[in-house]
Chain A
Amino acid sequence: MSFDPRIAQNRFGYGPGPGFEPPRSVQHMLARLAGPDTQATRFPISGFVDVFGDLQEIRDLTAAFRKARNKGGDAVETTKAARKEKYREMNRKRDAWFLATVARCATAEDAFRERLVRFWADHFTVVGKGPLFQSVVATFPEDVVRPHITGRFADMLRASTTHPVMLHYLDQFASAGEGSKLAMKGKRSLNENLAREILELHTLGVDGSYTQTDVRAFANLLAGFAPGKEGRAAYRPNWGNPGPEVVLGKSYGGQKPRVEDVFEALDDIARHPDTARHIARKLATHFVSDDPDPDLIDALSTSFTDSDGDLMALYGALLNHPAAWAPAQKKIKQPFDYIASAVRALDVSVDTLASLKRKDRNLLFFGPLKLMGQPWERPSGPDGWPEDAAHWITPQGLAARIQWAVSAPSALNAKLPDPRNFVQTALAGQASEATQFAARAAETRWEGIGIILSSPEFQRR
Chain B
Amino acid sequence: MTKHSSLSRRSFLKNAGVLGCSLAASPLVTPVSLAAAPGDHRLVVIVLRGGMDGLDLVRPVGDPLFAGLRPNLSSADPKLPLTDFYALHPEADKLHALWMAGELAFGQAVSTPYRDKRSHFDGQDILEAGVGAGGAIRDGWLNRLVQTMPDTQLRTALAVGREDLLILSGDATTSGWSPDVTLPLSEASRLLMARVYDGDPLFSSALGEAMDLTDVLRPELLRNADDAPNDPSEVMSDAMMMAKAHRGTTGIATFTAEMLKQDTRIASFSIGGWDTHVGQTSGFKRPLKNLQDAIMTLKTELGPIWGKTTVLAMTEFGRTVRQNGSKGTDHGTGGTVIVAGGAIRGGKIYGDWPGLAEEDLYNRRDLMPTADIRLYAAAAMQGLFNATASQIEGTIFPGLDLSPGLPGIIA
A contact set with B: CB distance below 8 Å: 69-70, 129-130, 192-193, 196, 363, 370-371, 373, 375, 380-381, 383, 389-390, 393-400, 402-403, 406-407, 409-411, 432, 434-435, 437-438, 441-444, 446-447, 450-451, 454-456, 459
Q: Once the chains bind, are B239 and A407 in contact (CB under 8 Å)?
A: yes
In the complex where A394-B176, A443-B189 touch, is A451 in contact with B183 (Cβ < 8 A)?
no
Inter-chain residue pair count (beta carbon < 8 A): 133
Q: Are B186 and A447 in contact (CB under 8 A)?
A: yes
Complex CA gap A406/B185 in Å reads 8
User: Does B203 contact A447, Cβ atoms closer than 8 Å?
Assistant: no
* Residue among A398, A400, A442, A459 making CB contact with B189, cutoff 8 Å: A442
| Complex contacts, B13 vs chain A, CB 8 Å | none
Give the CA-CA distance A406 to B184 in the complex, in Å: 8
A393 & B203 in contact (Cβ 8 Å cutoff):
yes
- Given contacts A130-B119, A443-B189, list 9 more A-B pairs with CB under 8 A: A363-B240, A380-B164, A381-B138, A399-B183, A402-B183, A406-B184, A406-B185, A441-B192, A456-B196
> Does B137 lie within 8 Å of A399, measured CB to CB?
no
Do residues B196 and A447 form an inter-chain contact, with CB atoms below 8 A? no
Say whether A399 contacts B210, CB under 8 Å. Answer: yes
Q: A442-B192, A456-B200 are known contacts. Are A403 and B164 too (CB-CB below 8 A)?
A: no
- B192 cross-chain contacts in A, Cβ below 8 A: 437-438, 441-442, 451
Chain B positions 234 through 251: 1 when the CB is less than 8 Å from some CB of chain A, otherwise 0: 011001100000000000
Residue-wise, chain B 317-359 has the 8 Å CB interface mask toward A (1 for contact) of 0000000011000000000000000000000000000000000
Does A398 contact B196, Cβ atoms closer than 8 Å? Answer: no
Q: A373-B164, A393-B203 are in contact. Are A380 and B169 (CB under 8 A)?
A: yes
Name the B residues within 8 Å of A442 (CB-CB): 188-189, 192
In B134-158, which residues have CB < 8 Å from any A CB?
Answer: 134, 136-138
Interface residues of B in 180-233 (CB under 8 A from A): 181-186, 188-189, 192-193, 195-200, 202-203, 206-207, 209-210, 212-214, 231-233
Q: Does B75 contact A (CB under 8 A)?
A: no
Q: Which residues of B contact A393 (CB under 8 A)?
A: 202-203, 206
Q: List the B side residues contacting A399 at CB < 8 Å.
A: 181-183, 210, 214
A130: chain B residues at CB < 8 Å are 119, 121
A443→B164 CA distance, assembly (Å): 35
Instruction: Name B325's contact: one of A70, A381, A395 (CB within 8 Å).
Output: A70
CA distance A318 to B176 in the complex (A): 35
Provide the residues of chain B in CB contact with A70, threshold 8 Å: 325
- Known A-B contacts A129-B121, A443-B189; A406 and B210 likewise in contact (beta carbons under 8 Å): no
The 8 closest A-B pairs by CB, nearest first: A410-B232, A395-B210, A395-B209, A438-B192, A446-B232, A399-B210, A398-B206, A456-B200
Q: Point out the residue from B175, B177, B196, B199 that lies within 8 Å of A438, measured CB to CB.
A: B196
Contacts of A406 in B (CB 8 A): 184-185, 189, 232, 235
B346–chain A nearest beta-carbon distance, Å:
34
- Chain A residues whose C-beta falls within 8 Å of the C-beta of B264 in the assembled complex: none
Q: Is the CB of A456 within 8 A of B189?
A: no
User: Please, how many angstroms separate the alpha-carbon atoms of A438 and B19 in the complex?
Assistant: 13
A141 to B406, CA, bound (A): 47
**CB of B166 within 8 A of chain A?**
yes
A376–chain B nearest beta-carbon distance, Å? 13
Contact B207 A398 (CB under 8 A): yes
Decide: B239 and A403 in contact? CB cutoff 8 A: yes
Complex-state Cα separation, A373 to B163, whole angstroms: 7
- Asked if B181 and A371 make an inter-chain contact with CB atoms under 8 angstroms apart, the answer reads yes
Give the interface size bracket for B toward A: 35 or more
A411 to B236, CA, bound (A): 9
Contact A403 B189 (CB under 8 A): no
Please name the residue on chain A nearest to B183 by beta carbon.
Answer: A399
The answer, yes or no, to whether B364 is at the interface (CB within 8 Å) is: no
The reply on B270 being an interface residue by CB < 8 A is: no
23 residue pairs A–B, Cβ–Cβ below 8 Å = A129-B121, A192-B134, A375-B163, A389-B202, A390-B202, A394-B206, A395-B210, A395-B213, A396-B181, A396-B213, A400-B181, A402-B183, A406-B184, A407-B232, A407-B236, A410-B231, A437-B192, A438-B193, A442-B188, A442-B189, A443-B189, A446-B232, A456-B196
Chain B hits for A437, CB < 8 A: 192, 195
Cα A396 to Cα B182 with chains together (Å): 9
Chain A residues closer than 8 Å to B164, beta-carbon distance: 373, 375, 380
* Nearest B residue to A398, CB-CB: B206
Could you tell me the distance in whole angstroms from the C-beta of B323 to the nearest C-beta in chain A?
Answer: 14
| B229 closest partner in A (C-beta) | A406
- CB-contact partner of B196 in A395, A409, A444, A454, under 8 A: A454
Nearest-neighbour CB distance to chain A for B156, whole angstroms, equals 15
Please, how many angstroms separate the alpha-carbon atoms of A431 and B63 in the complex?
72
B162 contacts chain A at the CB level, 8 A cutoff = yes
Q: Is B178 an interface position by the 8 A CB rule?
A: yes
Which residues of A sit under 8 angstroms from B183, Cβ to Cβ? 399, 402-403
Let me know if A403 and B182 touch, CB within 8 A: yes
In the bound complex, CA of A399 to CA of B162 (Å): 12
Q: When the two chains form their complex, are residues A370 and B184 in contact, meaning their CB atoms are under 8 A apart?
A: no
A129 — nearest CB in chain B belongs to which residue? B121
Question: Which residues of B are found within 8 Å of A434, using beta-carbon distances?
Answer: 195-196, 198-199
Contacts of B195 in A (CB 8 A): 434, 437-438
With both beta carbons as reference points, the residue of chain A lying nearest to B179 in the complex is identified as: A396
What 0/1 readout, one digit per residue, does chain B (54-76) give for beta carbons within 8 Å of chain A?
A: 00000000000000000000000
Q: Which residues of B contact A454 (CB under 8 A)?
A: 193, 196
Residues in A with CB closer than 8 Å to B206 are 393-395, 397-398
Q: For A446, list chain B residues within 8 Å (CB).
A: 231-232, 235
- What residues of chain A lie closer than 8 Å to B188, measured between beta carbons? 442-443
Residues from chain B with a CB closer than 8 A to the CB of A129 are 119, 121
Centre residue among A380, A381, A383, A435 by max chain B CB count within 10 A: A380
Q: How far is it, in angstroms, between the C-alpha of A441 and the C-alpha of B200 when the chains are bound?
A: 20
Minimum CB distance partner of A458 in chain B: B196
Q: Which residues of the other chain, A, contact B193 by a CB distance below 8 angstroms?
A: 402, 438, 451, 454
A396-B210 contact given A407-B184, A411-B233, A441-B192, CB 8 Å threshold: yes
Residues in chain B near residue A459, CB distance under 8 A: 203
**Mask: chain B, 110-148; 1 = CB below 8 Å from A; 0 = not:** 000000000101000100000000101110000000000
Contact assessment for A451 and B326 in the assembled complex, using a CB-CB cutoff below 8 Å: no
Note all chain A residues with C-beta closer than 8 A to B166.
Answer: 380-381
| Chain A residue with the shortest CB-CB distance to B278 | A69
Chain B nearest Cβ from A239, distance in angstroms: 17
**What residues of A have a CB within 8 angstroms of the CB of B184 in the complex?**
402-403, 406-407
Instruction: Closest B residue to A383 by CB, please name it.
Output: B138
| Closest Cβ neighbor of B198 among chain A residues | A434
Select A447's contact among B134, B136, B138, B185, beta carbons within 8 Å: B185
Report the separation of the CA atoms of residues A189 and B326 in the bound assembly, to the nearest whole angstrom: 32
User: What B residues does A441 contact at CB under 8 A?
Assistant: 192
Inter-subunit contact A371/B178 (CB<8 Å)? yes
